[in-house]
Structure 1
Amino acid sequence: MSKRGVCSRTEAARWIVAGRVTVDGRVVRDPEFPIAGTGRQRIAVDGDELDAAPRFYLMLNKPRGLVTTARDERGRDTVYRCLEGASWQGRPLPWLAPVGRLDQASEGLLLFCNDPEWAARVTDPESGPDKTYHVQVDTVPDDALLAAFVHGAQHEGELLRAKSVRLLRAGERNAWLEITLDEGRNRQIRRLLAAFGIEVLRLVRVAIGDLVLGDLAKGQWRWLTADEVARLQGRTENLGR
């Protein structure tokens, strides 16, 4: 059901266990029940048969302070607040899942889609696009320290490093860096800099591959073009809604 853009995997599991879902007219209560990839099986929720949803892809300028999840057990605001009231051709959007994450204190470019296969290609650590961040830190690093970020450091038993780092601008006590990653480990930049005793003051994701945040206002979103969708997964044929 999540692949058809109806809901999240977690919500789908709840519906299935509650007996709200049927496959070919039979109630299924096992969330791991196998479904053929041909799309010939009839899946219904509360008696309403599901149709495959069109594919949707969008980018959001995530504000700081929002959690990248559909439902937060601590009651914090989530990124879905920015999508409230969103529609397409006068109809509410289907379920869209975040493609990767930004932690609560981070901001910037965040993708959403209802295409799990595309999302998996975009987030693949081996073949997915690089991610670029602008990061304010509480020190002014010299060239040796910038090189050390690329060389990497052990943090909590894990080797963390950046693909590239450059100094954007510096003040007396802090500086802005541009950091590019070619993998997406949890809180990777914050943990890498912590290994050198450096605190992150602000962290903004400004690009994924060649898709840049640009002048999209904070808290606003826009559709991806078919060309952008294709390029993010390393393909050139037209894809999209």
Structure 2
Amino acid sequence: MPAPRNSSSNQARFGLARVLSKLGVCSRSQAERAVREGRVSVDGRVVLDPERPADPERQRIFLDGEAVSAAKRVYIAINKPRGVVVSAADEQGRDTVYELLAASGLPWLGPVGRLDKASEGLLLLSNDSVWAAHLTDPRFHVDKTYHVQIDTIPDQLLLDRMIQGIADKNETLAAKRVALLRSGEKNAWLEVVLDEGRNRHIRRLLEAQGIGVLRLIRVAIGNLALGNLTKGQWRHLSEEEVAALQTH
């Protein structure tokens, strides 16, 4: 079970930047930058230290002259297209997932986990940092299911090796479950389930065995499936879906 939401007595122990992030106003890094730029005041005084303790229940916090209060919690699922990066801005000018939300009127949302540029499929975004931290905490082992097209026809030995794990760059990479979905003459589709998420986990697990990934689609997180959500489209999660993911 996830930790309960922080009371004011707990939040008082948090630095100003973290408080802003937990309120769902912006990301932690955005909050740190805003504080250092002198855009945040507490009880009428500008604060320049992002780590200075703050208590939103007892103190008046302003960002860019606007009073800060807890934002309405928003949880969305989006079908990230291939070639789109999960970043608010990209130095190389690549398309970002936030451009898909530009006209939505949504508040600031942070990604719950990542999908690399070449990967596609189910991505969650929320301004509830406690909920997001639970889903991405490796201690809770929330399953993530992927459909992966590879450039070869696998045998059972390959599937077994993926579950047993391989060593790569001082890390052990393994899948929780692997199954063959279908195969053609030169390539095949696998269903791969992870209960942890290391950087480029599946790609590295296969590349270490000389196998290339042609497509990688995340189709489920926990019991939440991508379903018929089309590429580039998003939807709000229901209260039941939010609660079900939190209980993993």
Query: What is the TM-score with the length of structure 1 in the denominator?
Result: 0.92
Matched letter for residue 186 of structure 2: R
Cα offset, 1:16, TM superposition: 1.0
Match of 2:247 among 223, 228, 234: 234
After superposition, the C-alpha distances for 1:60-95 in whole angstroms (9 at most, x for unaligned) are 000000111111122211110111111xxxxx3211
Report which stretch shifted further, 2-11 or 193-202. 2-11
Aligned residue runs from structure 1 range 58-207, under 5 A: 58-86=76-104, 92-207=105-220
CA contact (8 A) 1:106 1:203 kept: yes
Cα offset, 1:57, TM superposition: 0.3
Match of 1:12 among 15, 20, 31: 31
Report which stretch shifted further, 132-141 or 46-55. 46-55
After superposition, the C-alpha distances for 1:28-47 in whole angstroms (9 at most, x for unaligned) are 011112123x6222110222
CA contact (8 A) 2:84 2:94 kept: yes
Mapped to 2, the partners of 1:5 and 1:126 lie a distance apart of 24
After superposition, the C-alpha distances for 1:74-132 in whole angstroms (9 at most, x for unaligned) are 2211110111111xxxxx32110000000000000000000110001111112142000
Mapped to 2, the partners of 1:226 and 1:13 lie a distance apart of 31
Match of 1:223 among 236, 239, 243: 236
Mapped to 1, the partners of 2:100 and 2:54 lie a distance apart of 33
Mapped to 2, the partners of 1:128 and 1:142 lie a distance apart of 27
Matched letter for residue 139 of structure 1: T
Mapped to 2, the partners of 1:210 and 1:4 lie a distance apart of 27
After superposition, the C-alpha distances for 1:182-220 in whole angstroms (9 at most, x for unaligned) are 001111000100111111100000000110000001000
Matched letter for residue 2 of structure 1: S
CA change 1:232–1:128 in 2 (3 A) is farther
Larger helix percent: 2
CA contact (8 A) 2:24 2:129 kept: no
Who is 2:42 aligned against?
23
Mapped to 2, the partners of 1:51 and 1:162 lie a distance apart of 42
Cα offset, 1:4, TM superposition: 1.9
Matched letter for residue 29 of structure 2: T
CA change 1:9–1:39 in 2 (3 A) is same
Q: In percent, how many aligned pairs have the same letter? A: 62
Matched letter for residue 49 of structure 2: D
Q: Alignment length, in residue pairs?
A: 229
Matched letter for residue 193 of structure 2: T
Consecutive aligned runs of 4 or more in structure 1 exceeding 6 Å deviation = none
Who is 1:239 aligned against?
none
Q: Secondary structure at the match of 1:178?
A: strand
Who is 2:10 aligned against?
none
Matched letter for residue 173 of structure 1: K
Mapped to 1, the partners of 2:102 and 2:39 lie a distance apart of 26
Extract unaligned runs of 5+ from structure 1.
87-91, 236-241
